[in-house]
Structure 1
Amino acid sequence: MRRAAIERLLPAAYQRACVPGSVLWALLDVMEALHAPDEAVLADVDALFAPYRAPDAMVVALARWVAMDHVVASPRPDTPLPLPPGRLRDLVAHGALLARWRGTPYGLRLALEVATGLRGFVLAEPADRPFHVVVRVPAAATEQQLAVATRIVEAEKPASTTVEIVVAEEPL
């Protein structure tokens, strides 16, 4: 809030006493300076909720907001995130689509692809094992990507199914 706007809120007697060089004039200048940081945040508040514009710490909160807390959950607060901030931003940006397809093979495959940045996940349901899903992770997956994929599969699979995660062999 600008000093002049604050001054207009004062009673008439104070407004008359507010002249350059007075204590009240200086006090209103200080009040203006104290409001400036908060007003800057409020002027761009929509950026806090945009996954590609929000600060990294806010993206973690947004991931929890779109029900992806199992991806960012860690036993200790000082533990680094299991995936890079860019991947987490992608996951938040796809949050509505992932929620719509949750519990389906398409939804699980999409969540894995967005979180790891890899393509080629294969989900199979063996005919001889009902309520069992085999998830084939692309051979190019790193250890960290495999760990993220495991977290997502365990959280996103239907509760009534068992799951087996295997790394695909290198293509010939």
Structure 2
Amino acid sequence: MRRAAIERLLPAAYQRACVPGSVLWALLDVMEALHAPDEAVLADVDALFDPYRAPDGMVTYLARWVAMDHVVASPRPDAPPPLPLGRLRDLVSHGALLARWRGTPYGMRRALEVATGTGGYAIDEPRDRPFHVVVTVPPAAAGQLAVITRIVEAEKPASTTAEIVVAEEPP
């Protein structure tokens, strides 16, 4: 809030006493300076909720808002996020789509692709094992099995068991 706007809120007696060089004048300048950081945040508040413009620390919070907390959950509060920040931003931006398709093979495949940045996942439901899915991970994503396991456990239907296998490298 600008000094002049603060001054207009004061009673008339104070407004008359607020002249350059007075203590009240200096106090209003200090008040203006104290309001500046908060006003800067409020002027760009929509950036806090945009996964690609939000500050780095806010992205994990946004992931929890779109029900992706199983991906960012860690055993220790000081542990680094399990995904690079760019992947986490992508995951948050796709949160509504992923929520709509949760519990389906498409939803699981899409969540895995967005989180790992790798395509080529296969999700099979063997006929000889009802209520079981086999998720085949492409070799390029084999180093991210911890995150993949978290996503598969959260995205599969609750009554279903899951098995995760890494595909063979093509010869």
State the TM-score bracket (shorter-chain normalisation).
over 0.9
Residue in 2 aligned with 1:61? 61
TM-score, structure 2 as length reference: 0.98
2:118 is the alignment partner of 1:114: no
Question: Unpaired segments of 5 or more residues in structure 1?
Answer: none
- Structure-2 separation of matches of 1:71 and 1:57: 15
Deviation string, structure 1 residues 141-162 (Cα, Å, up to 9, x no partner): 242x221111100111111111
Residue in 2 aligned with 1:79? 79
Q: Quote how far apart the aligned CAs of 1:88 are.
A: 0.4
2:86 is the alignment partner of 1:93: no
Following superposition, which runs of at least 4 residues in structure 1 exceed 4 angstroms of deviation? Answer: none
- Structure-2 separation of matches of 1:94 and 1:141: 20
2:19 is the alignment partner of 1:11: no
Deviation string, structure 1 residues 103-124 (Cα, Å, up to 9, x no partner): 0000000000000000000000
TM-score, structure 1 as length reference: 0.98
Residue in 1 aligned with 2:41? 41
Q: Quote how far apart the aligned CAs of 1:56 are.
A: 1.2
Residue in 2 aligned with 1:162? 161
2:148 is the alignment partner of 1:149: yes
Deviation string, structure 1 residues 51-106 (Cα, Å, up to 9, x no partner): 00001111101000000000001111001110000000000000000010000000
Match of 2:15, SS state, is helix
Deviation string, structure 1 residues 16-70 (Cα, Å, up to 9, x no partner): 0000000000000000000000000000000000000001111101000000000
Q: Taking every aligned residue pair, what percent have the same amino acid on both sides?
A: 86
- Structure-2 separation of matches of 1:19 and 1:125: 79
Q: Quote how far apart the aligned CAs of 1:171 are.
A: 1.5
User: Please, what is the CA RMSD of the aligned residues?
Assistant: 0.7
2:103 is the alignment partner of 1:123: no
